[in-house]
Structure 1
Amino acid sequence: MGGFVGAGSASAAVPCTIGPNVTQTDTAVFGSGGNDTIDCTSAEPGKTIYGEGGNDTITGTAYADTITGGTGNDTLTGQAGDDTLNGGFGTDTLNGSAGNDTLRGPGTDLAQDTLNGGDNTDSCGPVGVPPDLRSSCES
């Protein structure tokens, strides 16, 4: 069962809600290599999040985040900050939400990813083969 895990410092950082074998510091979260759920909706500051292997569901903070799914079929969701979402290998769904986001499928894995830019001006990376499904992407 997941819970809050802090880095043990006296800083004002607020941790993410994570599952077993997932680790985190004040600014980074590392998946277990299995199927992880990482929820940073209420966390701060912005995070660098690595899903690693497995089919991961990752939600970022309200600040600028960099989220990388890794291998597996991942669902990555940014929030209000200017986020960078990297799907990695597998059939991924990337949701930029608010902010000026950058979404990458990566376009080299022969999987069809879904890239939803969301509000504001968003950039969706190279079109893969088969072509990725893209919406609300200005480039």
Structure 2
Amino acid sequence: MKISTKGRYGLTIMIELAKNYGDKPMSLKSIARNKNLSEHYLEQLATPLRNAGLIKSIRGAYGGYILAKEANEIKAGDIIRVLEGPITPVEGIEDEEPAQQALWLRIRDAVKDVLDTTTLEDLMTHEDDQQQDAYMFYI
């Protein structure tokens, strides 16, 4: 399974909203500008995320988007499935030999396990840890 820019940028939107959770709504324009992405493309991704109940849109001059739930309640797998569809490394696996079928199922289950045990909070925290490590000097 190859994750496209839909899934990658969708995770970017969600991580940025998670960092901003509890503050005022965040515009896609500011996310696009901060991450050097297309605002129009992010708008296309926001619709399915909103329809899936992962984000809420707030109208008005100070409007934008907020997470619909807390960051520790949203899994990476929720976001990827909304934007990419089912998690399957190989299509037509029922036509494969049993040994190959077992391999594809193990790969699928491993990917699902990682995506379904990783929350937005984990991703946000990991990114913060990476930034702190960037300033550490080891001797």
Same fold (TM > 0.5)? no
TM-score computed with the length of structure 2 as normaliser: 0.19
TM-score computed with the length of structure 1 as normaliser: 0.19
Q: Highest relative contact order (Cα 8 Å, sep 6+), 1 or 2?
A: 2
Greater share of strand residues, 1 or 2?
1
